[in-house]
Chain A
């Protein structure tokens, strides 16, 4: 039986897939988890929490995040958008692809969760050929995300 460990960023808790390395970045508001497989095809999962203005609706905030990602990443193609839930809150899942100097192509799958005055992003990335094998794992991490706070 493999064990998922849990890491907390404030009151947000993320489950780490068995065997993955973890580290904190920035002022501690970011958790980075990396698959340990010793090659360039390793997947990475990152949880970030940022302030958001509540002047924007949840949908508008998610659209804004996706648009700003597209402005920063050349030739990013959005493959899929899905309205879903994370820990009982509305979330938008975004699947995208872009060319990458090192990997050829990189797939990003993000769950964007607006939660009051904060925006939580679970970002999973993997070189394109590895996406199909990791997609269920990415979804499992999203399903285990616990947001804490008030509902």
Chain B
């Protein structure tokens, strides 16, 4: 499959080697003869000097210097990684079944909506009763189980983080708490937590990030 770039949206679909070449181009452009650079140039994702298209530049900067933090969203058997730069977020997600990934640039304030679209956060019936993780494990009404993990970076490095587990069932939404209890919530409740994670105004309702949750690293 060929490399694809949409300058209107700034979305690049490429394989891992091409993405790596894109991010490293700013320092030391790979050989003009490299197949990765040729593919990126054919797609107009980089110019003749190997520099990213202006629509891709914010994503490349965020990948290289995620000043505000990194995140991962696991949903429906897929993982989306994010790098939060000073003024933009680079999201990298599976694009197809053959290893290509889509690189998308977002304004930080659009991150909750990007996550909502990925996990289909939308109107749901009102779940009523608390339940347990074990009870939900075999529950046929569970439609999706997703996790958002976010690490924040400050001037002195990593400054904390939080994560959120949501169970989306045909009967409504639940959040998984620290003690593995599962509490009913609503799309509004989940949206507030997404906004809280992004705006970093409060921490209540969010679980502290344990070390075993893997998060992306700065690309370089």
Contacts and interface: CB of A to CB of B under 8 A. Distances in A.
User: Which among B191, B192, B202 has the greatest number of chain A C-beta atoms within 10 A?
Assistant: B191
A135 B202 CA distance: 14
A77 B123 CA distance: 10
Contact of A82 (B186, B198, B201): B186
B117 A80 contact: no
A81 B108 CA distance: 25
Nearest to B188: A80
A127 interface: yes
Count class of interface residues, chain B: 20 to 34
Interface string B194-217: 011011011000000000000000
A81 B125 CA distance: 9
Nearest to A129: B199
B195 to A, nearest CB: 4
A95 to B, nearest CB: 5
B107 interface: yes
Contact of A97 (B113, B123, B124, B193): B113
Contact of A77 (B117, B124, B195): B117
B178 interface: no
Contacts of A18: none
A131 interface: yes
A105 B123 contact: no
B108 A131 contact: no
Given A80-B191, A135-B192, A130 B113 contact: no
B121 A129 contact: no
Contacts of A39: none
Contact of A131 (B107, B122, B123, B192): B192
Interface in B108-133: 108-110, 112-113, 116-117, 121-124, 126
A99 B113 contact: yes
Contact of B202 (A81, A103, A127, A132): A132
Interface string A82-106: 1000000000000101010001110
B187 interface: yes
B68 to A, nearest CB: 12
Contacts of B201: 129, 132-133
A132 B199 contact: yes
A78 interface: yes
B192 A99 contact: no
A132 B196 contact: yes
Contact of B192 (A77, A104, A105, A132): A132
A16 B107 CA distance: 32
Contact of A135 (B108, B112, B124, B188): B188
User: Which among A77, A103, A105 has the greatest number of chain B C-beta atoms within 10 A?
Assistant: A105
B123 A78 contact: yes
Nearest to A133: B201
A128 interface: yes
B191 A95 contact: yes
Contacts of A107: 195
Given A82-B126, A97-B112, A107-B195, 18 more contacts: A78-B123, A79-B116, A79-B121, A79-B122, A79-B187, A79-B188, A80-B122, A80-B187, A80-B188, A95-B187, A97-B113, A97-B191, A105-B109, A127-B109, A129-B108, A129-B109, A132-B192, A133-B201
Interface of A: 77-82, 95, 97, 99, 103-105, 107, 127-133, 135
In the A-B complex, the 3 residue pairs with the closest CB atoms: A104-B109, A80-B187, A129-B199
